[in-house]
Amino acid sequence: MAQLAKVDLDLLQICQGNGEFVHLLENSKGSPESFASAYSQSMRLTNGEFLCYHISTDYKSISFYNFKNASDGRTIIIHLPAKLMHEHHTLVVEEQEGVIVVDVILESSAFLTMRLPLEYIFGIENVLDDNWLSMQSPYDFTVRRPHLLHKVSQDFFVVFLEDGGLLGLRQHNENYLEPLLFNDYSYIQTLTSMFSRKKKQPADRAVACLVIHDKYLVVLTRLCHLKIWDLGSFHLVQEYNLTENFNGTLETIEYESNGNYISTLNDVIVIYLPIGNGVFKFGRLSFTNDGERKPTFNMFSSIDANMKKSTIWSFVDMKLTDPLELNFTSTTFNLIILWKSGSNSKLQILNIKDSSFSDFEWIEASNKSLQNFQTEEISALIQNYDFDKALYKLKSHYSDMTFKEADSLLLANNIVYSENNETQQQQYLANLDTLLRDINNNHSEIASFTIYKNDMILVNTHNLYNHGFYKINSSLENIYFNLSEITDNDDQFAKYFKLLNLFFSTISRDAILSTSDKFNDIAIRKHEHSTNISTAFSQIFNECLKSKFEKNNVKTLFAELATYDIIEILNELIENHLKDTSYHLDNFVEAFTGNVMNSSIIIENLYHQIVVQNKLLQLVLLSFLFLDFDTNIFGDKIETLLDINYKQTFFMSFYEFDSKLTQSSMSMHTLQYPHGVQIFSSSELAGYLEFEIATLYSTPIVDSRLYIAFMQEYVLNWREKMEPPQKAINFFKYILEPLYRRNEIDEEFLLAMSMFNCGRFEQAYEFFTMNDYMLHLANKLPPFLKNVQQNSLWYELLKTFTESSTNAHYYLQLSLLFKTYNRLDLALKCVSKSVEYSMKHPSVEEAPEFSKTQHLAYLDLLVEFKMYEEVIDVLRMSQTVLDKSTRKECFYKLLSNSCHGPNFFTILLNSCNTQEGSKPCLSHRDFVIIDEILINSLKSNKWEDCKKIFTFRLTNNRDREAAEIVYEYLQDLVPQQYQEKQKCYLFILNVLKTFDNVEDQWIIYDGKVKKLIDLKTEFCKLSSAI
């Protein structure tokens, strides 16, 4: 039964990727071409942090990064002058007094030592000392090739040679390594074999070693011999054939390569032997009672690996540890073993129950990545031609680097995504799905493991920044990963889920997936019947599951369920596994600085656990689709599960959309916890996950840190040049639109804002105007909406809710927003609503500056749509709102613009003519303003301009002034313009004749009165002259 589950960690997923790559011994810049490596290992440092190093696939470079900063910090790449002599086996990395010392033997026979201070690795210092690198040639390794390098102490190395010999290297100073031969015959045998014609037999060379009591070197050889060397005398003191009790069942028992086949804890030694599927021998190193006190290895137990004979697994790594926090009934030691088969991995824990090592049990782990459990959903989307969502899901499940690698491979094979060809789209996505899983498996291929912090198992992979983490299962995870192994002896809670899983496995996955999506429709009240759970469930059943199951299977389900206490099971699920927690924030240690690995472990495990909970919870909800249940009994429980399912969906959607932001927002509990909490053990991690999940399920979505962070990032802080622009569209399309709750005013308002961000302006207008937001949100805005930055796109609009504003203010700001993005039609609708509200509520006194802004905005948009009659009405009615200078500016723009001027002037004249009685259309002030504009635009000898003023004055009952402007124009004509002068006199005479009283028949020119009789005389003289 699996009690642990593998969780993939991609540190790039929660890093900003702003790290620094430092290349040593080569003039390179930027990240390496490939993150793939031949080997990797991690180590704990004295400052409590961890360092990881990778060896490149060509064995010519070593990369280092720390878990604290990962790719956001400094990654150091050392380019070696030659390849490593024997892969990673001729490399030693250790910390000495705050300095990482790297010792390697190269193919060139050189012994290279590099010293990297921790301050340099963590980016505190930027320069290395001149003596950071030293190269020596203590021995000709081209004759006797090294097979394994082991560092016994700061000044002493042991080199294990391919011929089985041992060579000591003692460091006397930085530039001198003294070679010391151990007392064996390998040197002579090597010389003899060089001159012998006989076929060479592979030497019984070392494959693993460790040092005991700082005095004895315990060596495991290729032929499964255990040798104990005295490091003081360089003599072999004991040798054991570890396979002699296996009765020669195999012709040859040997190791194929070097490895970590030996581990020790306290005085116990465990050795892995490659016999069958593997054998683990346990023993102790003791000393004889005679005067020599020789060390002896006393084997007291032998345990076979727990593997099926039909499977082939290769040993990777192991470590003997104190008991892990797995709730063992009894335990003394744990042996953690890591296996692999191709790119697949397998972790086992051998729990030794007593000191005799005779009582033990095997603890298994689920080794599949979570992506492997989620491929069904993507495959269903591809088969159902929902290509956009399938592509979105693929991008959300894998890192950018993995996706780019897969896309490049497809492009190289001429497999491309065609927007207009469904067949090509389906082919592309199906291949992409397969390729992404393969690449992800390759990136997750294991190299070794490390005990992280106290007892957490961290796997190092063959790819930079990629790790694996084995989390101890929660109760629900134990059920989920062991559904097929639950028996009649288990409790009814576990058997209940096994029963549901068996039943729903008989229904197509496509049907199950489409049905599961419907539960959130109830939570968001998408349909009218959503408020009635029984009706809603019946509707879902009829839409998605009717006729898609075997009736006999349903009968079996009903019969089995009748034996269970469903209410008790639901209570246990909700209270004990989902909402209940005994933890509080005060139970955890505050993290004063960020730690990428710590953050990655928390967020990935949290996501993993919520996904598993969601799968089990949906089994429960699906079962009620088949049941005729009493809402008085089950209603509250089902509503609770629907609410949790909705919150789980939100969390999973947020994580898949932006895991970096999800992680950072989950860390922000209070200002005291800007970096979250520190996790030191599996039990602390389990407790913290329980606390976070219970908090998530008990907090309204709109009040959660996660929701607020995403709204701030993708709605409030949105910019026109946001990169990539598709991000805002996807956020609306795949998160907000399908998950917003109907009739929740604040959510509908945020949805409108998101629509606006995506350029869906018509939809945005509809949602911005569907509610009386001033009534519901004024002075009730959530804090994150109140505290927007002043440079935010939404600052002015949101400010209307926090001040003593009205709908007039709200719609005006909305209009200005639409105008900014050139949606003038919607801007006009909004400003019309603003003006309409002001007119309907005259008792609401508005600030003069607001009224002025409102009217000007209205006028600008009316002009834009050439609605001149409305323009005139607005100007006519705004005598107290717009001052003289503003009105003058408005009229000038209208009359002087070649696009608007002629039409506006015509409609202006018509408006003046339509006024009944003597009441003028224009106020005296407006008449004067327009008249001045027309006079100032009058050009000499241009009759059309003069006629405009004449007509304007005449239309506005300014007959005398109309005649005067013509007379003024006449005076500027040259003497030879006889006909035009005649026309002007006729205009003047006709106007003056309209005055009934002779005494009124006059005009003023140049301060003098010109009577009608005088003007007639002038006209006669002009006529006689012609």
Peptide bond into 724 cis (omega under 30): yes
The position carrying tokens 């006889």 is 978
- Is residue 1011 domain-resident? no
> CB neighbours of 672 closer than 8 A, spacing ≥ 6?
590
- Is residue 673 domain-resident? yes
Indicate if 663 and 705 belong to the same structural domain. no
> CB neighbours of 803 closer than 8 A, spacing ≥ 6?
809
Q: State residue 681's pLDDT score.
A: 93
The position carrying tokens 């509080």 is 584
Give DSSP secondary structure letters for 479-490.
HHHTGGG--TTS
C-alpha 265/C-alpha 269 separation (Å) is: 7
Range of the domain at 681: 484-699
Q: Enumerate the β-bridge partners of residue 1004.
A: 1009
Q: State residue 285's pLDDT score.
A: 87
Indicate if 510 and 631 belong to the same structural domain. yes
Among 665, 699, 733, which residue terminates a domain? 699
- Is residue 351 domain-resident? no
- Is residue 422 domain-resident? yes
CA distances from 544 to 389, 513, 540, 549, 738 (A): 20, 10, 6, 11, 18
Indicate if 628 and 742 belong to the same structural domain. no
C-alpha 326/C-alpha 987 separation (Å) is: 109
Indicate if 692 and 707 belong to the same structural domain. no
- Number of folded domains in the chain? 3
Give the chain's residues under pLDDT 50. 191-192, 194-195, 671, 722
Q: State residue 738's pLDDT score.
A: 95
Q: State residue 202's pLDDT score.
A: 63
Indicate if 652 and 797 belong to the same structural domain. no
- Is residue 289 domain-resident? no
- Is residue 51 domain-resident? no
SS3 percent helix, strand, coil of the chain, rounded to 5, is 45, 20, 35
C-alpha 638/C-alpha 657 separation (Å) is: 28
Residues 426, 430, 433: CA angle, nearest 5 degrees: 140
- Is residue 221 domain-resident? no
Q: Minimal CA–CA distance to 622: which of 506, 731, 720?
A: 506
C-alpha 734/C-alpha 323 separation (Å) is: 45
Indicate if 627 and 704 belong to the same structural domain. no
C-alpha 577/C-alpha 579 separation (Å) is: 6
Q: Minimal CA–CA distance to 394: which of 383, 408, 411, 381?
A: 381
Indicate if 654 and 708 belong to the same structural domain. no
Indicate if 666 and 716 belong to the same structural domain. no
DSSP code, position 448: E
Q: State residue 940's pLDDT score.
A: 61
Indicate if 669 and 720 belong to the same structural domain. no
Helix (H) or strand (E) holding 410: helix 400-412
Q: State residue 110's pLDDT score.
A: 95
C-alpha 180/C-alpha 155 separation (Å) is: 13
Q: State residue 200's pLDDT score.
A: 54
Indicate if 608 and 725 belong to the same structural domain. no
Among 651, 683, 699, which residue terminates a domain? 699
Indicate if 622 and 709 belong to the same structural domain. no
Q: Provide φ and ψ at 319, rounded to 5°.
A: -155, 135
DSSP reduced 3-state for 728: helix
Indicate if 680 and 712 belong to the same structural domain. no
Q: State residue 167's pLDDT score.
A: 95
- Is residue 980 domain-resident? no
Taking the CA atoms of residue 156, residue 160, residue 165 and residue 167 in that order, the dihedral angle to the nearest 10 degrees is -20
Q: What is the pLDDT of residues 51-104, one digit of tens each?
A: 999 999 999 999 999 999 887 789 999 999 999 999 999 999 999 999 999 999
The residue type of 1019 is F
Please count the residues of the chain: 1026
Among 754, 780, 805, which residue terminates a domain? 805
Six token digits for residue 139: 């021995």
C-alpha 302/C-alpha 308 separation (Å) is: 18
Q: State residue 191's pLDDT score.
A: 47
pTM: 0.90
Strands 295-304 vs 279-287: parallel, antiparallel or unpaired: antiparallel
DSSP reduced 3-state for 772: coil
